[in-house]
Amino acid sequence: MLLEVQGIGKIFGGLAALEEVSFSIQQGEILGLIGPNGAGKTTLFNVITSFLYPTSGDIFFKGEKISGLKTQAITQKGITRTFQNIRLFEQMTVEENVMVGRHSRSRAGVLGSVFRTAVQKNEEARIRERTEYFLGMVGLAGYNEWPAVSLPYGLQRRVEIARALAGEPQLILLDEPVAGMNESETDEIAELIRKIQGLGITVLLIEHDMTMVMKLCDRLVVLNFGQKIAEGTPQQIQNDPEVIEAYLGQEEEE
Amino acid sequence: MINPYYLQIASFILINILLGISIYITLATGQLSLGNAGFMSIGAYTSALLTTKLGVPIPIGMMIGALLAGLFGILIGIPTLRLHGVYLAIATLGFGEVVRVIFINWESMTSGAVGVAGIPHLGRTILAGVQKQGFSPETWGLKNNEFTGLVVFLILLLITLSVIVFFARLNRSRVGRAFQAIRQDEKAASAMGINTTYYKILTFSQGAVLAGFAGALFAHVTGYISPADFTYHRAVEILVFAVFGGGEILWGPIFGATFLTIMPEMLRSLSEYRYMIYGAVLVLMMVFRPQGFIDADLILRLKGKKKEKVYAA
């Protein structure tokens, strides 16, 4: 069990965005988190990464309680994420964005940085090497010096994924990585997610593109109005009457 | 060539550059501090009082002054962490005023509004030192006041260059990238594993140490300080160095401090009108280059590395 979400609730001024949500993620799997808009998927991401603190419930990562920790501590422990509304560092180049992503896996302080000690130089070289590697992996080799925000939307999403990978996570949270992409771009990202899985990284994925989710994910968790309504393999989910009613049902009626 | 008047202006430019960098470094993590005049006065008074009353050597007095300012930086930085933008600016401005009022009223120690006079002068102390060794400025064909002016200028130049190298290197490192990340998106920065609290207090206290150090230098270059040197006019002047020159790039406040120190001197013949021109220049700047004279774009263009913007197909 890599991540365990136990009875998580999140209340925003009387409105329950999440209610008693429990599920767990196995080491090495791709778990899809689906549900209609407003179901609480991004809120759950924000709770896992301590962007928000839960009103009730606990989260365990590798058996250790992480709910209540600060965001940076959770990153340090090996959970990184991307954002639904892209949050790249706007005045940095592509390369610098990914280098910042490696912050949690490096340690040079003020004096080391100013006096350029041997340790610091080695570390900086390693940061660049890993940055190159992840840029290549997401298909952005050669884009190093480009201002991140000058890239097309789809490529910015790839920068975000490279930046999240640079933190050498054990669990990566991807928030709608193919939103607004066409079919071939979607296939490329699906391919990339499989490569990420190939590195031994567990993936938690929020996505609305059902074709992709059904093909890619090992298991799915379905949220509706802040509650978990189903959990299982894509096969089971597709045949779950409650899911069909709440979510996929709309498609069947057409 | 070696004109004591020019050397003095050059020395003030260098001190102002240090002050400009002190506000820049705090801004590097997105914190607008107007307390740097306050930190400057802590450095200045500490070093001035230690050297005049206790006979502490100037370098040690300056170190203690800078460190004490840094300590206050940490003390002010922690409770104001939750404040952003203009609220932080007001709180730190208030801190500066409190410090000034304390210096005015603590008469037994600071002589109040009269100020501290007879502070050991950096140049003259060195002159006395070398004369004891049997050296006379005459050997270099210099008058005594030319020698002191030159020595002060060279020491300040060395210090300023070291500070610039320090922060230029810091910027191009893991720490500098963390600063930038926090300024651009604090929440996203924390998701990179950056301890935003630590880095924000770090830059706040670095700015305070530097402002305190600049204050101590100011005390030993002018030989006289009073609370009137550290009013909110000074706080705003320091801010304007960064705003005018550009607050996002290290070279911005350096340019701002240089230009805005030289300009009133160049216009001295216009007497009172020069500050009207000073004001007009600031207004024009805000209209045409609100990001300041020097920004990242300009640096890229100077390096010839400007990339064409690409738009999504």
DSSP A152-218: -HHHHHHHHHHHHHHT--SEEEEESTTTT--HHHHHHHHHHHHHHHHTT-EEEEE---HHHHHHH-S
The residue whose two tokens read 């189903």 is A230
**Are A114 and B193 in contact (CB < 8 Å)?**
no
pLDDT digits (tens, 9 = 90+) for B73-83: 999 999 988 88
Average pLDDT, integer, range B5-30 = 95
Select the residue of B170, B310, B312 nearest A113 (Cβ to Cβ).
B170
**Are A81 and B194 in contact (CB < 8 Å)?**
no
Going from the C-alpha of B72 to that of each of A226, B95, B115, the distances in angstroms are 47, 10, 22
Please classify residue A28 by burial: count the beta carbons closer than 10 Å to its beta carbon, then call 0-12 exposed, 13-18 middle and 19+ buried.
middle
pLDDT digits (tens, 9 = 90+) for B164-191: 999 999 999 999 999 999 999 999 999 9
Contact at 8 Å (CB) between B253 and B23? yes
For residue B19, name the pLDDT band (cuts at 50, 70, 90): very high
A-to-B residue pairs, Cβ atoms closer than 8 angstroms: 110
How much is the pTM? 0.91
For residue A252, name the pLDDT band (cuts at 50, 70, 90): very low
Rounded to the nearest angstrom, the minimum Cα separation between B110 and chain A is: 35
Give percent above pLDDT 90 in chain B.
69
3-state SS assignment for residue A81: strand
Please determine, for residue B306, whether its predicted confidence score (pLDDT) is greater than 70: no
- Looking at residue B310, what is its pLDDT? 42
List, as own/partner pairs, every contact residues A231-235 make where C-beta atoms lie below 8 angstroms and the sequence separation is at least 24, other chains included. A231/A23, A234/A32
Task: Tell me the C-alpha distance between A76 and A61, whole Å.
Answer: 12
For residue A250, name the pLDDT band (cuts at 50, 70, 90): low
Give percent above pLDDT 70 in chain A.
97
Please determine, for residue B1, whether its predicted confidence score (pLDDT) is greater than 70: no
Please determine, for residue B62, whether its predicted confidence score (pLDDT) is greater than 70: yes
pLDDT digits (tens, 9 = 90+) for A133-183: 999 999 999 999 999 999 999 999 999 999 999 999 999 999 999 998 999
**What mean pLDDT is reported for chain A?**
93
CATH no. of B4-303 = 1.10.3470
Q: Does A9 touch chain B (CB under 8 A)?
A: no
Task: Tell me the C-alpha distance between B20 and B41, whole Å.
Answer: 15
**What mean pLDDT is reported for chain B?**
90
Give the number of C-alpha atoms closer than 13 A to the C-alpha of residue A117, restricted to the C-beta side. Answer: 10
pLDDT digits (tens, 9 = 90+) for A47-83: 999 999 999 999 999 999 999 999 999 999 999 999 9
Q: Which chain B residues in 187-206 lie under 8 Å from chain A, judged by CB atoms?
A: 187-196, 202
Task: Tell me the C-alpha distance between B303 and B154, whole Å.
Answer: 29
Q: Does B283 touch chain A (CB under 8 A)?
A: no
Average pLDDT, integer, range B266-288 = 83
Please determine, for residue B295, whether its predicted confidence score (pLDDT) is greater than 80: yes
For residue B85, name the pLDDT band (cuts at 50, 70, 90): confident
Contact at 8 Å (CB) between B216 and B225? no
- A90: nearest CA partner in chain B: B184
Residues from chain B contacting residue A105 (CB–CB below 8 Å): 193
Nearest in space to A154 (alpha carbons), one of B311, B94, B147: B311
Which site among A80, A86, A103 would you substitute to test the B interface, given the most B Cβ atoms closer than 10 Å to its Cβ?
A103
- Check residues B313 and B95 and name the one with the higher pLDDT: B95
- Looking at residue B133, what is its pLDDT? 87
Rounded to the nearest angstrom, the minimum Cα separation between B117 and chain A is: 37
Tokens of B58: 């100037």
Please determine, for residue A253, whether its predicted confidence score (pLDDT) is greater than 90: no
Please determine, for residue A193, whether its predicted confidence score (pLDDT) is greater than 80: yes
Average pLDDT, integer, range B55-67 = 96
- Looking at residue A64, what is its pLDDT? 96
Tokens of A191: 């391919």
CA A220 to chain centre: 15
Task: Tell me the C-alpha distance between A164 and A159, whole Å.
Answer: 9
Please determine, for residue B305, whether its predicted confidence score (pLDDT) is greater than 70: no
Q: Does A122 touch chain B (CB under 8 A)?
A: no
Task: Tell me the C-alpha distance between A249 and A244, whole Å.
Answer: 4
**Are A146 and B310 in contact (CB < 8 Å)?**
yes
Contact at 8 Å (CB) between A146 and B310? yes
For residue A254, name the pLDDT band (cuts at 50, 70, 90): very low
| CATH numbers and ranges of domains, chain A | 1-78+169-254 (3.40.50.300), 90-166 (no CATH)
Average pLDDT, integer, range B256-275 = 85
- Looking at residue B263, what is its pLDDT? 87
Q: Does A90 touch chain B (CB under 8 A)?
A: yes
- Looking at residue B312, what is its pLDDT? 38
